[in-house]
Amino acid sequence: MCGIVAYIGGDAAFPVLIKGLQRLEYRGYDSAGIALLDPLLSVYKKQGKVAGLLEFARDVPTAGKVGIGHTRWATHGVPSDVNAHPHVSSDGEIALVHNGIIENYSLLKTALENQGHRFVSETDTEVLVHLIAEIKSRESADLEEAVRLALQRVVGAYAIVVMDAARPDILIGARKSSPLVLGIGADALYLASDATPIVEYTNKVVYLQDEELVVLRSDGTFEIKTMQNELMPPFIQELDINIEMLEKGGFEHFMLKEIHDQPRTIAECMRGRIHAAEGWVHLGGMEVCSDAFMNAQRLIFAACGTSWHAGLIAEYLFEDLARIPVEVEYASEFRYRNPVIAEQDVVIAISQSGETADTLAALELAKARGATTYGVVNVVGSSIARVTDAGSYIHAGPEIGVASTKAFTAQVTLLTLMALQMGLKKGTLDPVFFRELLHELEAIPGKVQAVLAMDKLIQQIAVEIKDKPNALYLGRGYNFPVALEGALKLKEISYIHAEGYPAAEMKHGPIALIDEEMPVIVLATNKSAYEKIASNIQEVKARKGLVIAIVSRGDTQIRAMADYTLEIPDTLEPLTPLLAAIPLQLLAYHIAVMRGCDVDQPRNLAKSVTVE
């Protein structure tokens, strides 16, 4: 959802900015731009990906030791050169990049136009740069003061970086509801939407807090202040990621690398948190709010996209193992519905990025109503991780492919551990079954590896589906959310319309769509509803649908009915999603590749949705 990178220091800014934009491209990729000071301001912007900007920049001067860059995911105004950031003041002196939305831009724009400012783009962002220029000239404020005053007049969300040809010795950054990280190098300072552009230069970072402003100086010093101009002591943290995590590592796409990473990431998520032989599970975050979990009358999960599907699996897990009522909410609906939230509720946000605007807002609402809040988050130091009362990181490492894969299975792993810990503590979980689940969890990474080894067969099935206009995914019980996730993966990256459905609901609508052109992917690993799933498959076959069945190893009954069968290792039912999700990820991946789609950067999507 727009990526920002900025540099001020002793070396050329341009290579740092371009590389940084490439790292941030997963956040948005409809246009990219750079502004440099040397000593005059030059701005280069191009619709399309960073590669296009780089090509364009071959023929233009790119010197300068201070600069800002931006990769855009359009909100206001179509993707175009002119709507790309940085935006520049009418006198050509001030340049600004922005991630977020300025909600009162229309009012501000009218006033600024009346004051003689010339707008050239359709963006909300452009008002900010003109407003800063206006305050600077009419109110004789210095750049820092002008930025502060301008931000006090805007309504909305922002992470911004501003530079001024009159002040080549400073850069100013600020944030509210959109992330911004300061990197502290040996002789340079960096600002970025996340740590990925910074990691190759330094591992020392400061995650700016909401409504903080930072002044970066070319001598390597910086100051963090509140919007009320109070100086804040910097909380310097060490990054726990490295460059290899940000590279494709020999895979053709990040998504494929991340799918193959799952045996490791699932194991990483469990490391030090369970011990099957000794029979324990321990999540420190849950201990922090142990009373809240023990006294809760219900749990509410709030999330978006793939994380919401993980939440649906959590509903099955917690109700099954910890016998507590669970609600799973789309964060965007929850926050605007005036929901009933009690102080005894525990509201659990699930988010890979930890920055999704709706999820963050849902949490803030829950907090305001007195509920305990908990975060299940991947990105360390992210906003959701910081605002919750407690939480557990999923430790999946950076996920770059826009379609979430390894974060999903790590979320499900973590949620399983949470349900086990709560179930054991509440006494709702049979100790023998608890032990069995722990042993089986330890075996899951190896079983995921076995599913990954079925790639050739999955590619053959992909050939059958790749030219179909639609696909239906069916599952029951724990496999129902997996069906939703499988359908989401396919539509996100291959643009084939796909729907996930509870298998038994098929006859209440989707059955009307079934003919020989409709592939139906059925998750049929369940033990508890096996015969019912088998009947659902008969219903599809009777209408000439093409059935691809995911079954447990050794299955014969469904194999005899389905057109294609994928046999995955057997496991305990609550852990089925961790295995069943994998072939669906690979299937979507291969179909998208066969259709020539841009797998890592599918059209219109962004990895991290920091606007509502």
The catalytic residues are 2, 607
Q: Does 36 bind ligand G6P (CB under 6 A)?
A: no
Q: Does 332 bind ligand G6P (CB under 6 A)?
A: no
Instruction: Using the rule CB under 6 A, give the single segment among 138-146, 169-177, 289-297, 300-308 that binds ligand G6P.
Output: 300-308
Closest contact distance (angstroms) between CB of 460 and ligand G6P is 27
Instruction: Using the rule CB under 6 A, give the single segment among 96-104, 166-174, 396-404, 431-439 that binds ligand G6P.
Output: 396-404
CB 349 within 8 A of CB 362: yes
How is residue 453 written in tokens? 């080894």
Whole-angstrom distance, CA of residue 14 vs CA of residue 20: 10
Q: Which of 133, 184, 448, 609 binds ligand G6P (CB under 6 A)?
A: 609
| CB closer to ligand G6P, 352 vs 536 | 352
CA distances from 296 to 282, 292, 343, 359, 408 (A): 19, 6, 9, 21, 26
Give the containing element (helix H, strand E) for 176: strand 170-176
Whole-angstrom distance, CA of residue 6 vs CA of residue 66: 8
Q: Which residue is nearest to ligand G6P (CB)?
A: 305
Q: Which of 304, 346, 548, 581 binds ligand G6P (CB under 6 A)?
A: 304
Q: Does 306 bind ligand G6P (CB under 6 A)?
A: yes
Going by C-beta distance under 8 Å and a sequence separation of 6 or more, which residues neighbour residue 65?
7, 8, 9, 10, 11, 12, 13, 38, 218
Q: Does 351 bind ligand G6P (CB under 6 A)?
A: yes
Whole-angstrom distance, CA of residue 35 vs CA of residue 101: 21
Closest contact distance (angstroms) between CB of 445 and ligand G6P is 22
CB 56 within 8 A of CB 10: no
| CB closer to ligand G6P, 361 vs 524 | 361
How many other C-beta atoms are found inside a 10 Å radius of the C-beta of residue 221? 10
Report the SS3 class of residue 160.
strand
| CB closer to ligand G6P, 355 vs 555 | 355
Q: Does 71 bind ligand G6P (CB under 6 A)?
A: no
Report the SS3 class of residue 476.
coil
Going by C-beta distance under 8 Å and a sequence separation of 6 or more, which residues neighbour residue 589?
253, 255, 256, 259, 489, 493, 599
Whole-angstrom distance, CA of residue 586 vs CA of residue 584: 5
Q: Which of 80, 203, 605, 612 binds ligand G6P (CB under 6 A)?
A: 605
| CB closer to ligand G6P, 2 vs 568 | 2
Residue 392: phi, psi to the nearest 5? -135, 130
Hey, which bits of 3-125 come out as E strands? Answer: 3-9, 31-37, 41-47, 66-72, 87-88, 94-102
Q: Which of 42, 307, 383, 552 binds ligand G6P (CB under 6 A)?
A: 307
Instruction: Using the rule CB under 6 A, give the single segment among 190-198, 223-231, 387-395, 397-405 that binds ligand G6P.
Output: 397-405
Closest contact distance (angstroms) between CB of 314 and ligand G6P is 14
> Which residues 354-393 are close enough to bind ligand G6P by CB under 6 A?
356, 359
Q: Does 353 bind ligand G6P (CB under 6 A)?
A: yes
Closest contact distance (angstroms) between CB of 609 and ligand G6P is 5
CB 582 within 8 A of CB 259: yes
Q: Does 305 bind ligand G6P (CB under 6 A)?
A: yes
Closest contact distance (angstroms) between CB of 32 and ligand G6P is 19
Q: Does 352 bind ligand G6P (CB under 6 A)?
A: yes
Binding site for ligand G6P (CB under 6 A): 304-307, 351-353, 356, 359, 402-404, 605, 607-609
